[in-house]
């Protein structure tokens, strides 16, 4: 069994974790760093009258794509290493040709795909996610996506506890020194409501503030559901977006016992998008409601391997090596030992401070 992992050279430790799990389960993994194509990695695609062949060559490693039994589409950064000194029009053409070459090769692999690119792209639509989640009976926050300042002001009147602003796409802005500034979720102030002219250049997403007892991260692999919780309200800077203090909260994540009906609805959501993998963000309110925020079809999971110790990479490897047909129960975590922690978090409305 040979698994092709589609990623890039700067991806995090999730790649070696899954590669080790594949090897431990008797399979082989080939890592394709797409940023190194076409400058360092070669791809030969041949179609003749009697045969076809696709060979991926990375230095001394060679892979016949007909031998690939499964594909994990993890990250992609095709043609990033094409020199910026190249004529801009020619570079754009080279990047585009490189992309369609690689994407065509991936699409034509006959093996099992953990998730096919069209499914991932469909699931990336946050508006569709909210629509489907609501139809499935999941609670969602009031949401407005707009470039209309007046609509934002009217929406703010519906949000009795205030509102937050965020972007539908994940991106960062780099200053002149090259320092990265990630765009996080932020509260909307009265001063912000008086300064909305920038919306005519870029739409934004506005949501009602949802009181938080805990923030949950549910990772679904096949039919297996791993849910962890963190008290994001314990640190001032993480109250609106726990990622601001991701490192400080690294060891604070605990297993969480998600209600069965919520798990079932999340599995229905996965089925709608025909996904085998998804990372889902949820808010637990002080009164015990679970508010669905979004699903990331290629979301991160590696920190949850360390704390609380979920074997997510093993689960991914198992689905890849069994073509999604079997799901072992041997990796299921025993959440009962954390029962007292759950009780204090879920049953006591004073456990966490609500947003303000």
Which whole number is the average pLDDT over 308-331? Answer: 81
Burial 170-197, CB ≥16 within 10 A → b, else e: eeeeeeeeeeeeeeebeebeeeeeeebe
Structure tokens at 233: 């309200």
Q: What is the mean pLDDT of residues 116-143?
A: 97
Cis peptide bond N-terminal to 178, omega within 30? no
pLDDT of res. 178: 67
pLDDT tens-place string over residues 136-178: 999 999 999 999 999 999 999 999 999 999 988 876 677 677 6
What pLDDT, on the 0 to 100 scale, is given for residue 177? 72
Sorted by where each begins, the domain ranges of the chain are: 2-113, 142-208, 214-347
DSSP string spanning 297-347? TT---HHHHHTT---HHHHHHHHHHTTTS---STT---GGGGHHHHHHHHH
Mean pLDDT, to the nearest integer, of 285-303?
96
pLDDT at 40 > cutoff 70:
yes
pLDDT band at 181 (very low <50, low <70, confident <90, very high): low
pLDDT band at 326 (very low <50, low <70, confident <90, very high): low
* The predicted structure's pLDDT at residue 244: 82
CATH class of 214-347: alpha beta
231 Cβ contact partners less than 8 Å away, ≥ 6 residues apart:
214, 252, 345, 351, 352
pLDDT digits (tens, 9 = 90+) for 210-262: 999 999 999 999 999 999 999 999 998 888 888 888 888 989 999 999 999 99
Which class is 2-113 in CATH? alpha beta
CATH 3.40.50 for domain 142-208: no
Q: Which of 81-95, 178-192, 214-228, 277-291 has the lowest mean pLDDT?
A: 178-192
Residue 322 or 328, more confident: 322
* pLDDT, mean of residues 300-310: 95
Q: So what's the pLDDT on residue 333?
A: 41
């Amino acid at each position: 069994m040979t698994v092709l992992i589609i990623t890039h050279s700067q991806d995090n430790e999730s790649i070696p974790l899954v590669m080790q799990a594949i090897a431990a389960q008797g399979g082989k993994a080939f890592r394709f760093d797409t940023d190194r194509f076409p400058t360092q990695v070669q791809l030969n695609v041949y179609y003749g009258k009697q045969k076809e062949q696709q060979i991926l060559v990375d230095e001394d490693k060679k892979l016949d794509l007909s031998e690939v039994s499964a594909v994990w589409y993890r990250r992609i950064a095709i043609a990033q290493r094409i020199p910026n000194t190249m004529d801009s029009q020619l570079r754009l053409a080279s990047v585009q040709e490189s992309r369609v070459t690689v994407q065509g090769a991936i699409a034509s692999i006959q093996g099992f795909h953990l998730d096919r690119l069209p499914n991932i792209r469909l699931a990336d639509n946050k508006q569709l996610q909210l629509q489907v989640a609501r139809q499935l009976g999941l609670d969602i926050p009031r949401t407005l996506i707009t470039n209309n300042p007046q609509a934002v002001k009217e929406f703010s009147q519906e949000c009795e506890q205030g509102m937050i602003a965020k972007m539908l796409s994940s991106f960062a802005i780099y200053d002149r020194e090259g320092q990265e500034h990630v765009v996080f979720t932020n509260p909307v102030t009265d001063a912000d409501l008086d300064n909305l002219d920038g919306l005519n250049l870029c739409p934004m997403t506005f949501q009602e503030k949802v009181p938080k007892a805990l923030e949950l991260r549910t990772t679904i692999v096949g039919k297996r559901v791993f849910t962890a919780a963190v008290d994001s309200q314990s640190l001032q800077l993480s109250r609106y977006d726990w990622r601001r203090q991701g490192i400080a909260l690294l060891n604070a994540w605990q297993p969480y016992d998600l209600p069965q009906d919520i798990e079932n609805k999340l599995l229905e959501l996965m089925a709608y998008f025909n996904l085998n993998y998804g990372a889902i963000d949820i808010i637990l309110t002080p009164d015990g409601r679970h508010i669905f925020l979004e699903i990331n079809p290629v979301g991160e999971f590696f920190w949850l391997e360390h704390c609380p110790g979920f074997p997510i990479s093993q689960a991914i490897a198992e689905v890849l090596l069994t073509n999604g047909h079997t799901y072992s129960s041997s990796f299921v975590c025993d959440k009962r030992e954390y029962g007292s922690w759950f009780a204090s978090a879920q049953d006591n409305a004073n456990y966490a401070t609500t947003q303000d």
